Amino acid sequence: MRSARPCPSRPLFCEYLYLRTKQPAGLQTSPADKKWGWLSFALIGIGILTAIAQLKPPPNTGFAIDWKFDYETEHFFKVLKLISRAYLPIPKPTRHFWNSQQLEAYPLFQTLQMPLCFLLILFGVGLTCKRPTALLIYLTATLGLLAFFYVKYYGSIRHHGFLFLTFLTVAWIYRECPEIGTDAQLKTAPTDSEETRPARAFSIILTLILGCHFMGGVIAVSMDTRHIFSCGKQTAEYIKAQGMQEMPMVGDTDFAASTIVGYLEKAVIYYPRGRRFGSFIRWDSARTTDVPDAAVIEAAKVLSTQTSQPVLIILNRAVSAQLQERYRLINVAHFTGSTISDEEFSLYQMPAH
- State the average pLDDT for the chain: 87
Q: For 228-244, how does the pLDDT look when each residue is reduced to its tens digit (9 = 90+)?
A: 999 999 999 999 999 99
Q: How confident is the model at residue 56 (pLDDT cuts 50, 70, 90)?
A: confident
Question: Are the C-beta atoms of residues 133 and 169 closer than 8 Å to each other?
Answer: no
Neighbours of 347 (CB within 10 A): 21
Name the DSSP letter for residue 286.
G
How much is the pLDDT for 1? 46
Q: Averaged over 153-173, what is the pLDDT?
A: 93
Q: DSSP 3-state assignment of 274?
A: coil
**Percent share of the chain, pLDDT over 70:** 85
Mean pLDDT of 300-317: 96
pLDDT in tens, 240-258: 999 999 999 999 999 999 9
Query: Tens digit of pLDDT for each residue in 196-209?
Result: 676 788 888 899 99
pLDDT at residue 29, rounded to an integer: 58
Q: What is the pLDDT of residues 134-151, one digit of tens each?
A: 898 899 999 999 999 999
Q: How far apart are CA 351 and CA 334, in angstroms?
A: 18
Higher pLDDT, 210 or 1: 210
pLDDT of residue 314: 98
Residue 53: the pLDDT is 81
pLDDT for the residue numbered 86? 96
What is the per-residue pLDDT across 86-107, written as a single tens digit (0 to 9) for each? 999 999 999 999 999 999 999 9
For residues 313-328, average pLDDT: 96
Sheet holding 249-252, edge to edge: 276-278, 269-271, 249-252, 311-315, 345-350, 330-335
* Domains of the chain by residue range: 9-20+36-49+60-226, 232-350
Instruction: Give the pLDDT of residue 57.
Output: 81
Choice between 3 and 241, residue whose per-residue pLDDT is larger: 241
